[in-house]
Structure 1
Amino acid sequence: MTSLPRHDGMTGYLTRRRLGRLAALGLVAGVGSVGPTSSAVAAGAEAQDYYDRARRLAGSDPVLLALVRALTPDIGFPRPPAPEPLKIFDNLAFLSAGWISAMAVLTDDGIVLIDALTSPAEAESILVPGLRELGADPETIKYVVVTHGHDDHFGGAQYLADRYGARVLMTPADWDLIARTRPDNAPTRDLEIADGQRLTLGGTTIQLHHTPGHTPGTVSPIIPVRAGCERHTAMLWGGTNPPTTRTELRSYLASIHSFRARMRQANVDVELSNHPGDYGLQRAEQLRSRPGGVNPFVLGRPRTQRFMAVMDSMLRGRLADAEAGNARGASRSHGAAVQGCC
């Protein structure tokens, strides 16, 4: 038997078999970070090995620890109170119902809204007055980008289309999804998002990448943001809650890998989310209480890459659970009213 120091400073005795698993996961000294493999999970690896690796990668980082918790099987979904609207950056507004949020990209020629909350009522009571409170005119909403086809993301889209003439964008796969599953309250089919599409308004170009897994047509944006003279690049992962089937989990893992590469190419240094599983609400309050200080949404390029590495390891654990037939590998449900949210 061989002993290795655990991350908590204690000594853990590991069998040769377990050492082989850890080596496959990149946990033994001298082994690099986990990259894509021919199979989504290394042969012989157990789910807990991946979950442990994710926690080691997270360390004491509150953003990464929040992600680990959000992706842990059977975890409860938070329902925090709605915060006040906030400008996270000079050109990016945060508009939230608490458990679900939307982002408004503010340009010289109008607004691009990323998601539209759960209903016409929330669009009217949260999005519209929130934009006005921040000095933005909702009459100038030109586009609503729906990250995926669940009620909590497209619910207010038709209201905004009807009232302000906004164009609604979604991937073809998720237009099809809502036509099958939510025909009663789906927005009228409008613009389709191609993989890698660039949406430009007022000199601001948003990249829209297909990241299927959470739904067949989930999309994740990359957004240029600014604070004074500082320029940053933000990403928003379009759908966090893992799916249930092995095929969907493998698709999700492939999306993590491809999007992580696109983040690297775009020099992404800011992480955003449309749900509170990334310590985002706490960071918003930190920013609100310390205006002009260090922006907690700017993680830097290494941390945003580590964010995706944590997600990758947690999803490999979920897939290992699913392949072993463990019940805990199943996706949690948040109620029938919002199907497959997050």
Structure 2
Amino acid sequence: MTSSPHHDGVAGHLSRRRFGNLAALGLVAGAGVAGLASPAVASGSDGQVYYDRARRLAGKDPVLRAIVTALTPDIDFPRPPAPAPVKLFDNLAMLSVGFVHAMAVLTDDGIVLIDALRSPEDAKNTLIPGLRELGADPEAIKYVVVTHGHYDHFGGAQYLADRYGTSVMMSPADWDLVARTQPDNAPTRDLDIADGQQLTLGDTTFQLHYTPGHTPGTVSPIFPVQAGSERHMAMLWGGTNPPGTLTELRTFLASIRSFRERMREAKVAVELSNHPNDYGLERAEQLRSQSDEANPFVLGERRADRFMAAMDLMLRGRIADAEAAAARA
């Protein structure tokens, strides 16, 4: 079920209907991060050698090219319109407002929601009706796993806690971050996530790993997904936009490397993101309009590992640029 790692572009491999769907979302090539064009970094950049290596590694692979673009300095992120809710796997739904996504993992004993979008309004207008549209009961949301303490990931969590008794989980460092910096719509402090913690609901067990860098307590989960008789291990990288300081960039790189090892141990073959920085909205549209092709979210273990290798190279470039700037200062 592993899809091919090489594509020549978007339009060349899409039906007219599917291309029209992507164009309506502003997600065909040339439309920003989600397109395949990677803006050039200034030739004098100290990190240029790493950025070039990352682009060579990505080749024509649209998923790898998208993450390289997303990690390029000074990129302008797109604000695509909200897509309709969609099931990516039998037990996994994506509920998105365009700029940011939540993932609902459907188990035989309830739902684990990874992130909760931006606000109570998003919970009311996107999460709850989206689950119902896909045949899931929002009253079954037992946990919200907040990947990190930014408003666009926790904003709907307290609404769900108040309405359904949902438990809200976040790392201690990011509970503290939220309390210090973002009181609006912040959930009441509930459950702490420990590094490497396992969360089991029904037939599904999540591994929750600390991957600090984007925030001090970013968490990235690994969990199983199913499509018919096929079962794969999936990962969701909890926070992609690199931090500003050299120390934080080095922490981010260390997180990439440690999580890459966790992925290898778990035999991760599926890559997911909570923002449109990985060709995910395009792949969701492909999935929505196809019935008998390979699931585009199943990269395979080697290609998922290359995704992390591309991230590693881009962070090494960012660090090289930051070190050079510090030396000049």
Do both proteins adopt the same fold according to a TM-score greater than 0.5, normalized to the shorter chain?
yes
Counterpart residue identity of residue 134, structure 2 = L
Distance 2:257 2:68 in 1: 18
Distance 2:49 2:189 in 1: 43
Distance 2:294 2:185 in 1: 41
Counterpart residue identity of residue 148, structure 2 = H
The answer on whether the counterparts of 2:146 and 2:170 sit within 8 Å (CA) in structure 1 is: yes
Residue 4 of structure 1 corresponds to: none
Q: Give 1:291 deviation, angstroms.
A: 2.4
- Asked if residue 94 in structure 1 is aligned to residue 94 in structure 2, the reply is yes
Q: Give 1:324 deviation, angstroms.
A: 1.1
Residue 29 of structure 1 corresponds to: none
TM-score by length of 2: 0.85
Distance 1:256 1:247 in 2: 15
Q: Could you list the structure 1 runs, at least 4 aligned residues long, displaced by more than 6 angstroms after superposition.
A: none
Q: Give 1:144 deviation, angstroms.
A: 0.2
Task: After superposition, give the CA deviation of every residue in 1:205-254 in whole Å (9 maximum; x if it has no partner).
Answer: 01100000000000000010000000001000000000000010000000
TM-score by length of 1: 0.81
Distance 1:90 1:46 in 2: 45
Distance 1:49 1:182 in 2: 38
Q: Which runs of 5+ in 1 are unaligned?
A: 1-44, 327-342
Distance 2:111 2:184 in 1: 27
Residue 159 of structure 1 corresponds to: 159
Distance 1:267 1:313 in 2: 22
Task: After superposition, give the CA deviation of every residue in 1:296-318 in whole Å (9 maximum; x if it has no partner).
Answer: 00000000000000000001101
Residue 122 of structure 1 corresponds to: 122
Distance 1:157 1:183 in 2: 13
Residue 223 of structure 2 corresponds to: 223
Q: Give 1:136 deviation, angstroms.
A: 0.3
Identity %: 77
Task: After superposition, give the CA deviation of every residue in 1:7-43 in whole Å (9 maximum; x if it has no partner).
Answer: xxxxxxxxxxxxxxxxxxxxxxxxxxxxxxxxxxxxx
Distance 2:254 2:289 in 1: 38
Distance 2:97 2:164 in 1: 21
Task: After superposition, give the CA deviation of every residue in 1:92-117 in whole Å (9 maximum; x if it has no partner).
Answer: 01100001000000001100000000
Residue 112 of structure 2 corresponds to: 112
What pairs with 1:1-342 in structure 2 (closer than 5 Å)?
46-325=46-325
Residue 17 of structure 1 corresponds to: none
The answer on whether the counterparts of 2:156 and 2:185 sit within 8 Å (CA) in structure 1 is: no
Distance 1:217 1:154 in 2: 14
Aligned length: 282
SS for the counterpart of 2:268 is coil
Distance 2:172 2:230 in 1: 36
Counterpart residue identity of residue 294, structure 2 = V
Distance 1:78 1:236 in 2: 20
Counterpart residue identity of residue 207, structure 1 = Q
Distance 2:276 2:184 in 1: 28
